[in-house]
């Protein structure tokens, strides 16, 4: 048992737990690194397959949440430059600040749990970013708010499930604590979108 754990430690140190470089999607790379780590952990301590599934779920949540944070920060930076309405610019600054903080907290927890996070957002999230960035100034406010609303609807659903299903206690607490804030973000974004739609 001790030899297996030592072998596991050497494997984790050698791998560096960092995402590979190359043309692959950063999220896919992170998921692959976490999959290898989870298989090694399960094999080294003779963990049942059910435990590996829990580790995979934890890692999958962390990777998706990181990518979503990166998207929301990136489009909010765009909105601070391109939005017409002052209230939209101010909201974008709030979103940037709060999701940057969330991502920093997530990164710290993931580090303690030996979960690899992507250095870039997923291809799907990048497509959302490009769609918002494509909009110049006229109509940008609605485009940004619609994308932000969609991202937060996805976040709320993901975090609500994770708050009860994650096996890592620290990660589960993170999801539970973030959920009310994400719901408040969604509500405020919906209100701002309605006002932007009325301005046309």
CATH of the domain at 160: 1.20.1260.10
pLDDT at 24: 66
pLDDT for 28-60, tens place per residue?
999 999 988 888 777 666 556 778 889 999 999
Maximum mean pLDDT: which of 9-13, 25-29, 30-34, 89-93: 89-93
* Structural domain span for residue 175: 60-199
SS percent in the chain: helix, strand, coil, step 5: 80, 0, 20
Burial class (CB in 10 A: 0-12, 13-18, 19+), 135: middle
HSE at residue 154, side-chain half, CA atoms within 13 A, is 17
Establish if 48 belongs to a structural domain.
Answer: no
pLDDT for 167-197, tens place per residue?
999 999 999 999 999 999 999 999 999 998 8
Establish if 17 belongs to a structural domain.
Answer: no
Establish if 188 belongs to a structural domain.
Answer: yes
CA distance 42 to 163: 23
Establish if 11 belongs to a structural domain.
Answer: no
Establish if 155 belongs to a structural domain.
Answer: yes
The answer to whether 152 and 182 are in contact (CB under 8 A) is yes
How many domains is the chain built from?
Answer: 1
**Global model pTM greater than 0.95:** no
Using the CB atoms, write b or e for 160-188: b if 16+ within 10 Å.
eebbeebebeebbebbeebbeebeebbeb
pLDDT at 17: 42
């Amino acid at each position: 048992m001790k030899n297996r754990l030592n072998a596991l430690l050497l494997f984790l140190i050698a791998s560096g737990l960092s995402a590979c470089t190359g043309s692959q999607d950063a999220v896919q790379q992170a998921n692959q690194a976490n999959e290898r780590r989870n298989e090694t952990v399960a094999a080294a301590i003779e963990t049942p397959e059910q435990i590996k599934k829990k580790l995979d779920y934890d890692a999958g949540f962390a990777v998706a949440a990181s990518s979503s944070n990166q998207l929301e920060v990136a489009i909010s930076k765009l909105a601070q430059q391109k939005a017409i309405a002052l209230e939209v610019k101010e909201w974008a600054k709030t979103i940037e600040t709060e999701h940057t903080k969330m991502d920093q907290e997530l990164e710290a927890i993931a580090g303690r749990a030996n979960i690899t996070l992507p250095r870039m957002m997923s291809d799907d999230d990048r497509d959302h970013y490009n769609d918002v960035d494509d909009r110049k100034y006229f109509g940008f406010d609605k485009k940004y708010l619609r994308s932000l609303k969609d991202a937060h609807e996805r976040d709320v659903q993901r975090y609500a499930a994770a708050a009860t299903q994650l096996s890592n206690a620290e990660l589960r607490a993170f999801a539970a604590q973030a959920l009310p804030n994400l719901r408040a973000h969604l509500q405020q974004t919906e209100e701002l979108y309605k006002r932007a739609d009325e301005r046309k």
